[in-house]
Amino acid sequence: MVKDFETIDHTADIGIIAYGADISQAFANAARALFSLITELDNVEEILHRDIELTAPDEESLLVEWLNQLIYLFDTENIIFKRFDITRLSNTRLKARSYGEKVDSSKHMLKTGVKAATYHMLQVDKGDGCRVQVLFDI
Amino acid sequence: MPAPWQEILKKIDDYRWEIPQGYKEGMAVPGLIFTSEAMLSHIWEEHVFQQVANVAFLPGIVDYSLAMPDIHWGYGFPIGGVAATRVRDGVISPGGVGFDINCGVRLLRTNLTEAEVRPKIEGLVADLFVNIPSGLGSKGKIRVSEKELDKVLVKGSHWAVEKGYGEAEDIVVTEETGCMKGANPDKVSSKAKKRGIPQLGTLGSGNHFLEIEVVDEIYDQEAATVMGIGNTGQVLVLIHTGSRGFGHQVCSDYVALLGAAVRKYGINLPDRQLACAPVQSSEGQDYLAAMACAANYAWANRQCIIHWVRDSCTKIFGRSQRELGLEQVYDVAHNIAKIEEHTVDGKKLTLCVHRKGATRAFPPGHPDIPDTYRGIGQPVLIPGDMGRCSYVALGTELAMKESFGSTCHGAGRLQSRAAARRSLRGADVARTLAERGITVKAGSMSSLAEEASEAYKDVNEVVDVTHKAGISRKVIRAVPIGVIKG
């Protein structure tokens, strides 16, 4: 089975590469990769959801904005998301519903704080199967 | 076989290595790395030469794209990078400041000796851990409305002191007196404010920490005395944190906004994370106004934290703040951009100096140094990793001439976080530290492994380079006895 995502070693920070049969799936897997850096997703339940709608000048910026919006929701509402239903994705627009739950310190052990998604080493490849790459500031 | 860097770098002397302008087409100036031959081997592995060269593309950059010996691979700018651009026709880049705007260091002295603190260290560390919110997802004890937050953003440390956090004397010995001018909360998104409100007065996670340390070497007794440091064995408290989610959001917002400015002004960049705009443009001015808000947030944050440190110390030792001599030595910002006057090739220029993981190091007599330190130069606070040591140094004339009054900011990472986690376990790190007489309390065990000594360059080597190169000079060294990690 092809893996959904993997992490890349970087001296100070952490990068991720996410795969998908289509670009929506790769974006969803990138978001899963983000939250798997923060905590073990096996212990997270789908109790609530948040809708996100974004526009950006291009697909790469859209990926950064998408991940930064999720980091924002984690930081302000303490929500860990584990499933992402991307209902619309063009080069400049994204619409998605993300499912997860609020941090509960009795069952979620938080691992790494993620400050932001960066534009460094940013890639969106739509070849045979999609692949996206992002570096997070940790 | 020659080392790979030998083909790229031109050795100027033992501590200065140039990346010629021809290394990459599009560089407006050469690169210059302050380092030793021994430390260069780490630099090669990290491809940071590319990043130093990429910064040299910024329009209006003067002299050199600089790197300090604690340099390591960043995103866009290297960590440990300094770049000065002309305010008249150059650019400002949020990536040259970083996500943690005004991440910085504050040092508190005490009258206490190691012998007095050792028996109470467990209790002190435990009390500080409770008193100062730390760790991922932690919320501050301070409740502010959005309107009140705007005051924090404009006043910085002054807001905190007005609210009873700390002393008016603290402000005097804080870079920019803890309040950067030009802050305009209207230039900050409501998202940044929402992230900032619950996190005011928190230490955070990652490499942020609070350390109880003991002076173990004094290199310049006279200067140390001016800082209130009399003897080896004296106890100090070091705080390393920044502007938390507020600063991260300001940076994210403006990297995106300035990405559009790059297209608008037709700027050619080799890395999108270097997004920038002319300093004089509305985009550039808006970023500067927002950045100043984040810088002030960070100063208010460290100001609140120092208050709780005093609170814990007076409680644990049962003596007053005055009896304990809990006075602030200094506070520095090491992720910031500042408009400063410098002389380049004999000409006075107004420059926008980006310090991304670098500390200002102004020489004796500089008007921006508080009166107390005007005679000795600006104190430079250099934290190491949690197992080794930290330094206090001073700025020099040579730093003013060669590095836009800048020097190193810390040890600099050597190993990635993942590599550190693979090779070390948090519990083992805690035990090793305990064996060496260091009491640690951490929010998570994995963060402990990621921040282990082995993951960092040796700060002794880093500080030796800046000392021998002459861009700062050592005053004291201190070793930790108690550490709080987020």
In 3D space, the residue among B354, B369, B389, B376 whose CA is nearest the CA of residue B473 turns out to be B376
Q: Say which CATH topology domain B4-414+456-485 has.
A: tRNA-splicing ligase RtcB (3.90.1860)
Task: Identify the residue whose tokens are 């282990």.
Answer: B452
Record: contact A119-B447, CB cut-off 8 A: no
R_g over Cα of chain A: 14
* Phi and psi at residue B331, to the nearest 5°: -140, 125
| CA distance linking residue A87 with residue A92, whole number of Å | 14
Question: Strand, coil or helix: what is B190?
Answer: helix
Helices B244-264 and A59-77: crossing angle in degrees, nearest 10, is 160
- Using the predicted structure, report yes or no on whether residue A1 has a pLDDT greater than 60: no
Interface test with A, best of B100, B209, B417, B485 (most A CBs within 10 A): B417
pLDDT in tens, A66-112: 999 999 999 999 999 999 999 999 999 999 999 999 999 899 988 88
pLDDT number for residue B47: 80
Residue B347 β-bridge partners? B344
Using the predicted structure, report yes or no on whether residue A127 has a pLDDT greater than 90. Answer: no
d(CA A50, CA A46): 11
Measured in degrees and rounded to the nearest 5, phi and psi for residue B75 equal -130, 115
What residues in chain A have their Cβ under 8 A from chain B's Cβ atoms? 7, 9-14, 38, 56-57, 60-61, 64-65, 68, 71-72, 75-76, 78, 103, 109-113, 115-122, 135, 137-138
| Residue predicted with more confidence, B253 or A128 | B253
pLDDT at B44 (0 to 100): 63
Q: Determine, for residues A14 and B272 on separate chains, whether the beta-carbon distance falls below 8 Å.
A: no
Q: DSSP letters of B337-381?
A: EEEEEEEETTEEEEEEEEEES-EE-PPTT-TTS-HHHHTT--EEE
Q: Looking at residue B427, what is its pLDDT?
A: 80
Residue B405 burial (10 A CB sphere; 0-12, 13-18, 19+)? buried
Average pLDDT over residues A52-69: 97
**What residue segments make up the domains of chain B, in order of their start?**
4-414+456-485
Q: Can you list the residues of chain B whose pLDDT is less than 70?
A: 1-4, 44-46
Return the pLDDT at A66: 98
Q: Which residue of A has its CA nearest to B94?
A: A118
Q: What are the structural domain ranges in chain A?
A: 5-137
- Phi and psi for B399 in degrees, rounded to 5? -60, -40
3-state secondary structure B418-450: HHHHHHCCHHHHHHHHHHCCCEEEECCHHHHHH
pLDDT number for residue B416: 81
Question: What's the pLDDT band for A4 if we cut at 50, 70, 90?
Answer: very high
ipTM of the complex: 0.94
Closest CA to B250 of B95, B81, B424: B95
Q: For B242, which residue in chain A has the nearest alpha carbon?
A: A115
pLDDT band at residue A13 using 50, 70 and 90 as cut-offs: confident
CA nearest B483: which of B376, B373, B383? Answer: B383
Query: Active-site residue numbers of B?
Result: 409
Distance from CA of A35 to the nearest CA of B (A): 13
CA separation for the pair B63, B54 (Å, rounded): 15
Asked: is A5-137 a CATH 3.30.930.10 domain? The reply is no
Q: Are B100 and B242 in contact (CB under 8 A)?
A: yes
